[in-house]
Amino acid sequence: MRPGLLATASAIAMVFAYPPFEGWYVGWVGLVPLFMALEDATEKRAFLTGYLWGVVFFTGTVWWVVHSMHYYGGMSIALSILVMLLLVFYLALYPALFSYLFRRADSAGPYLKITGGAGLWTGLEYLRGWLFTGFPWALAGYTQIPATSMIQIAELTGVWGVSFWVIAVNITIYLIIGCLKREDVVSVLKYLVFTGVIIIAVFTYGIIRFNTVKVLIDGWEKLTIGVAQGNIEQALKWRKEMKATTLDVYQTLIEKTRKEGADLVILPETAMPFYLYHDRTLGSYLKEIARTNRVSLLVGSPHYENTPERRGLYNSAFLIDSEGRITARYDKVHLVPFGEYVPLKGLLFFVDKLAEGVGDFSPGEGFNPLKAGNTSFGVMICYEVIFPEISAEFLRKGADFLVNITNDGWFGRTWGPYQHFAISVMRAVEGRVFVVRSANTGISGIIEPTGRVLIKSPLMERYWFVSTIGLRNAPPTFFSRHPLVFPCIAGIFAVLFIISGHMKGRKPHVR
């Protein structure tokens, strides 16, 4: 089969490893055709083959961007597709660079090829999650989220360690196929044992830790949480006449959750389409709802400051206590480029942001947990949850649980909400902490520290639920304390792989 067809087949297969398909088993073998496509390729051809893989893969995993830009960004379908393709063309550079370097280091020994190749892929994923503010979406490790026992090592390594072993298994299976072609039975057996050791080690650790953590969290102090999913249509959300209607919707949901015993009710990102802090009518009414129902609220709302010390617009979350007082506020720190602000606005004066209703947002001042009585929790607004280091910082600062409030109405009924929700599962395992998610149109839910999803709301429905969570009573995990350790280890493996391949020179293909 031609290299281009192999790369395309590999990319398409890997798309089905992610939500909403959840083909986690595809993640183990989906990259094998790509490695086969790189056989005997020149370095230039390897780069182009990897780039083709990236274009097909990222088109398949982030196509929902078109929906957001067309329906809510005011762009034509043609322009929306063009902008999506520009994003895809950028993201495709990472697998292209991987393919180039993997082929260049082809003469490295087989076991260094496995560990170094896995380290190279993982290191480039980390780079993608950092460069130009970062976009760590569709990481290889996220393919394994449905297989809960296979992601438990994330408490040590973060999602990066899961990506590492997934890629290592793919490379090993590729080497096994090469040995079968040469009828090298001894090498086949060696690689089968190596693959088995990886999978069994990860699985055994996962089973042990899953059961251990399950027992541990049973002893944690409990808090009854309510979640309100208003399902306010994104196209109507910021209209003036919708302000009172939206407040009425959430009043009903808050009252329902309170009747079921909720002590804290969590509303989505920008649930209140007005300046809660400054609006003396609607803002005061919301506080009265909290006071009347004797319940604390976490509410998403835009906010502005206009003082000599601080000026700007913020995407914020307000904590209102059961007395109707605003006791704390978190301002979103990691903003969405072109969604909440336009970078390099002097050069890109012709580009408008997607967020409606307000002007460009300013970043908040830090990832600081909010305190509510005797507990504290970290709030990640929208896509802040896709950055592992953000949740880790909240936990290092003493958060007892994590909250992700979001407005995934931008995604519509695409694959975006399913992918976004799945990422929250990894954050729960990395930090061994309950994660509560409140999304305007879904998917809302609660995830326990083992990665098991306790509640998961339907998409595009008005919904509410009440559940009990545990307040973390354990030191931060190794990953939460040291989130950069494994990316550095992966980088070391990658450098050794590249150096070894370079020193040995271009030799016949070694498998």
CA distances (Å), 164 to each of 48, 143, 160, 161, 268, in order? Answer: 23, 12, 6, 5, 34
403: tokens are 């909250």
Q: What is the DSSP secondary structure assignment for residue 369, as one 8-state letter?
A: P
Helix (H/G/I), strand (E/B), else coil: 243: helix
Q: What is the DSSP secondary structure assignment for residue 424, as one 8-state letter?
A: H
Q: Which ranges of 158-260 would DSSP assign to H, the alpha helix?
A: 159-181, 185-218, 242-259
Choosing from 155, 382, 389, 448, which is the catalytic residue? 382
- How large is the angle between the packed helices 110-128 and 159-181, nearest 10 degrees? 140
Strand partners, 379: 403
In the chain, the N- to C-terminal Cα span, in Å, equals 19
Burial 442-478 (b: 16+ CB within 10 A, else e): bbbbbbbbbbebebebebbebbbbbbebbbbeeebbe
CA dist 194 and 466 (Å) reads 46
Cβ–Cβ under 8 Å, residues 154 and 161: yes
382 is catalytic: yes
The number of angstroms, rounded, from the C-alpha of 280 to the middle of its chain's C-alpha atoms is 36
Choosing from 269, 384, 389, 448, which is the catalytic residue? 269
430 is catalytic: no
Choosing from 113, 237, 287, 332, which is the catalytic residue? 332
332 is catalytic: yes
Q: What is the 3-state secondary structure (H, E, C) of 205-232?
A: HHHHHHHHHHHHHHCCCEEEEEEEECCC
CA Rg, the chain, in Å? 24
Catalytic residues, which ones? 269, 332, 382
